[in-house]
Amino acid sequence: MALASWPEMSESEHFVQFCETDAFLVSSVSKFISTALIAGDAGIILATQPHRESIEERLRADGQVFEVTRKQGKYIALDAATVLSQIMVDGYLDATRFNEVIGGIIRQAAKSGCHVRVFGELVALLWADSKRAEAIRLEELWNELARTQAFSLFCAYPMQGFDGEGYEAEFAEICRQHGRVIPTESYTALTGTDERLLAIALLQQKGNSLAAEVAERRRIEAALQESEAHFRFMTEEFISMASHELNTPLTSLIGYTHLLQYRLKKLGDEESLRFLATINKQLDRLTRLINDMLDISRAQQGKLSYQEEFFDLDALVRETLENLQARTFTHQLLLEGSTTAHVYGDRERIGQVLINLVSNAIKFSPAADKVIVRLSEEGDNAVVSAQDFGIGIAEHHHSHIFERFYQATEPATRTYPGLGIGLYISGEIIKRHRGRIWVESQKDEGSTFSFSLPVNLQ
């Protein structure tokens, strides 16, 4: 509908105007209302403050009529958000309140028996606030009210509110709720029929090519997701296979070193025994890495095995530290505190967590000479902490440190060898035991890694 046809519109019509710019909206509404006021009819605007101000500026510029009709109570302007708050309860429209409030305003304007034109922005506010179902419901309420009261209603929506995917059905529903749908100004500005037909054909072509483009993108996205999932699966398969394959020769190597050690001891060959000790140390490292790799592929498949029983936590911690100390010459491993905790869980797996934390504490504090392990009880939990005096961890890493393959230290420099698996596995193990694991640390100020386990619970 071109602007020129405002005067010819029927007395009770519900139409929607889509707009591209505010300026067009203001000009359109001003003409709609001023035509009514000039004809001696009433005009109501339920709009935002900036729109009310701009519309009134236009109406004033049209002459005396505006001030006169305002004094007669034939021009009513209300804030859209305030009116919305009066007709909504707990975020939903209330039909009774709508009829009371909106019906009341229209009745008041129509007191002198004149026709009433209403411009409402309530629906647009609801739409912009993502309350799309309520926007459609409000259109329905306006239509229901129109069955008992006569008024013409001008609804306006900014077209950009429908940008993006997924609005197709709702857009169609909004259009269906109106007796007349007016496209945006780029279309209404066209005057000739041929010009409009051309515009429709161009829009149809654009619509078709966009629909084809969207379908193609969806197809590519689905294919990408599928190949990513396949790649993840293959990687996990590879890790699982590689770690199993590495494990077999390693077991055999360890067996032969024990044999060699036995023979060299018999021969009293001290120098070769020292070489063998170095080989053993490296084999230990390899064993830990391969076990981590085996564990990560099991954890990914949710297949980390657990053998659960009640065990004495302090005894496990003491035993683990003694074993670790026997292999550690650079640091003193000190034990502080104690608990009386009997923990239900997999003793070996909890031992694995402690080995991990203490090995990290040693690895990441090359300039220090001690690591302190503390035992304590907090409520229904036993807490084990390992404190080092090493390189520390900057705060922004803390929330990621228990993720798979995450390394706070620069892996490329290889200063601290590792795969970023140990803490992930530790986290999985502690989670499985209904416990908690966390870190307290600052860069260059050492770290304290702790885990807590529920005590005496099965």
Q: Which of 119, 151, 364, 389 binds ligand ADP (CB under 6 A)?
A: 364
State CA 84 to chain mean position distance: 30
Residue with tokens 């049209």: 62
How many residues of this chain bind ligand ADP (CB under 6 A)?
21
The 436-441 sheet, strands edge to edge: 332-337, 370-378, 381-387, 447-454, 436-441
Q: Which of 83, 401, 430, 453 binds ligand ADP (CB under 6 A)?
A: 401
Q: Which of 99, 409, 436, 440 binds ligand ADP (CB under 6 A)?
A: 409
User: CA–CA separation, 156 vs 19, rounded Å?
Assistant: 7
Q: Are 401 and 408 in contact (CB under 8 A)?
A: yes
Q: Which of 122, 358, 421, 455 binds ligand ADP (CB under 6 A)?
A: 421
Q: Which of 110, 391, 430, 437 binds ligand ADP (CB under 6 A)?
A: 391
Compute the least distance from the CB of residue 228 to ligand ADP, in Å. 24
Q: Which of 261, 419, 432, 450 binds ligand ADP (CB under 6 A)?
A: 419
Which residues, 423 to 442, sit near ligand ADP by CB under 6 A? Answer: 423-424
Q: Are 313 and 339 in contact (CB under 8 A)?
A: yes
Mark the segment that binds ligand ADP (CB under 6 A) among 66-74, 201-209, 338-346, 415-423: 415-423
Mark the segment that binds ligand ADP (CB under 6 A) among 127-135, 141-149, 152-160, 405-413: 405-413
Three state DSSP letters for 152-192? EEEEEEEHHHHCCCCCHHHHHHHHHCCCEEECCHHHHCCCC
Of 15 and 424, the one with the shorter C-beta distance to ligand ADP is 424
Residues whose CB falls within 8 Å of the CB of residue 449, separated by 6 or more in sequence, listed in order:
357, 360, 361, 385, 386, 437, 438, 439
Pairing outcome for strands 75-79 and 42-47: parallel
Mark the segment that binds ligand ADP (CB under 6 A) among 177-185, 269-277, 336-344, 383-391: 383-391
Of 331 and 433, the one with the shorter C-beta distance to ligand ADP is 331
Of 260 and 419, the one with the shorter C-beta distance to ligand ADP is 419
Amino acid at 328: T
User: CA–CA separation, 285 vs 30, rounded Å?
Assistant: 81
Based on the shown chain and the rule CB under 6 A, indicate whether residue 239 belongs to the binding site for ligand ADP.
no
Compute the least distance from the CB of residue 141 to ligand ADP, in Å. 59
Q: Which residue is nearest to ligand ADP, using beta carbons? A: 418
Amino acid at 224: L
Residue with tokens 């961890």: 393
Phi first, then psi, for residue 19 (nearest 5°) are: -125, 150
Compute the least distance from the CB of residue 363 to ligand ADP, in Å. 7
Q: Which residues bind ligand ADP (CB under 6 A)?
A: 356, 360-361, 364, 388, 390-391, 393, 401, 406-409, 418-424, 447
